[in-house]
Amino acid sequence: MRTPGRGRSSLPLDVVPGRYRFIGVKLTEESVYAVITDLRANVLEREVVALESLQVADVVALVSRIVTSFQERSDLPVSAVGVTVGGQVEAGEVVADSPFLHWHEIPFRALLREALGTPVHLDNDVVGLTRAQHWFGHGRGFENFALLTIGAGIGYGLVINDAMVPTSIHPVSHFPVNPGGPLCPLGHRGCATAYMSIPSIVSAASVGHGRSLGFEEVLELAKGQDPVARRVVREAALALGRTAAAISSLTGVERIILSGEGVHLADVARADLDEGLSDYGGAHDPHPQPIVRPMDFVEWARGAAVIAIHAEFPEGIRARP
């Protein structure tokens, strides 16, 4: 849903979007998701390749192969490549810590630049997705919005006064929800990650069942009234509602977008999400209802392309209706 008339109006666009090409690459633990786009991040072609190794040199070689193959097929030269990863990226240069890739202090941008010979821009994956939502997606027309993603970890992006606010990763992913709750990998009791991350949900439900379950299976069991899965998913949705309420309280954003591959838990237990949201709401100023927008990893790759577009055109390219 868009809200015409809200937010800053579109900037005039004096370049022709179709005359530019950008590549976006999003890395997950399992695969490389890549897209080639125009200046408005319209996806022209996509590619998904399984990652057989998380060794840095192997990943650089694979990204390089994918980029080269896009370049060879492209009708126009590629202006820049954007690459995003889950975890902490320092100054657009170094993957300081990525628990998903098991990388620490990797000068990934320099390595990619050397291999690709094209301008490369590196950032956190949620930053890319948030920028894409701001310019071209569900945050368009909102001067203030937040994006919360549920997946292997909990991601958080914030836009205030039409500008991306640099956010550290931990404040929301380890936001305290219930001090008597389950444990997260950092030893916190009842933080957002302990309740909501896919590994936490899967592990809690697997303990209850005494066998190893998958995330989709947990959601299916929860829909079917299985008492273990139902309880785990409802508690995760309640935690999600409380976290969204905290974001709303602390930032005053008008819109909160919920996404990530784990966000379907919100559909299974929407009443619990709403309860968590309203538990601490004001009588006259309720928190905004979050919108649930599942986005696949191709959308995250598009976010990586937007990192490159933003770096090349920092003044902003807002898509006009």
Minimum distance between the CB of residue 16 and Zn ion, rounded to whole angstroms? 47
Minimum distance between the CB of residue 191 and Zn ion, rounded to whole angstroms? 3
Q: Does residue number 265 form part of the binding site for Zn ion (CB under 5 A)?
A: no
Nearer to Zn ion, 15 or 207 (CB): 207
CA 49 vs CA 22, 59, 113, 310: distances in Å:
18, 11, 20, 25
Please name which of 136, 116, 150 lies closest in space to residue 268, comparing C-alpha atoms. Answer: 150
Q: What is the DSSP annotation of 131-162?
A: HHHHHHSTTTT-SSEEEEEESSSEEEEEEETT
Please name which of 240, 40, 49 lies closest in space to residue 155, comparing C-alpha atoms. Answer: 240
Nearer to Zn ion, 61 or 207 (CB): 207
Residue 92 CB coordination number (10 Å): 15
- Applying CB under 5 A, the site for Zn ion has a residue count of 6
Nearer to Zn ion, 110 or 207 (CB): 207
Minimum distance between the CB of residue 96 and Zn ion, rounded to whole angstroms? 18
Nearer to Zn ion, 184 or 228 (CB): 184
Nearer to Zn ion, 191 or 266 (CB): 191
Query: Is the separation of the CB atoms in 231 and 265 below 8 Å?
Result: no
Residue 279 CB coordination number (10 Å): 12
Restricted to residues 162-221, the positions that interact with Zn ion (CB under 5 A) are 174, 184, 186, 188, 191, 193
Minimum distance between the CB of residue 155 and Zn ion, rounded to whole angstroms? 14
Nearer to Zn ion, 189 or 209 (CB): 189
Minimum distance between the CB of residue 104 and Zn ion, rounded to whole angstroms? 19
Token couple for 223: 């829909």
Residue 75 CB coordination number (10 Å): 7
Cβ density class 221-242: b for 16+ within 10 Å, e for less: bbeeebebbbebbbbbbbbbbb
Nearer to Zn ion, 100 or 313 (CB): 100
Minimum distance between the CB of residue 29 and Zn ion, rounded to whole angstroms? 19
Minimum distance between the CB of residue 176 and Zn ion, rounded to whole angstroms? 8
The rounded distance, in Å, linking the Cα atoms of 130 and 156 is 9
Which positions touch Zn ion (CB under 5 A)?
174, 184, 186, 188, 191, 193
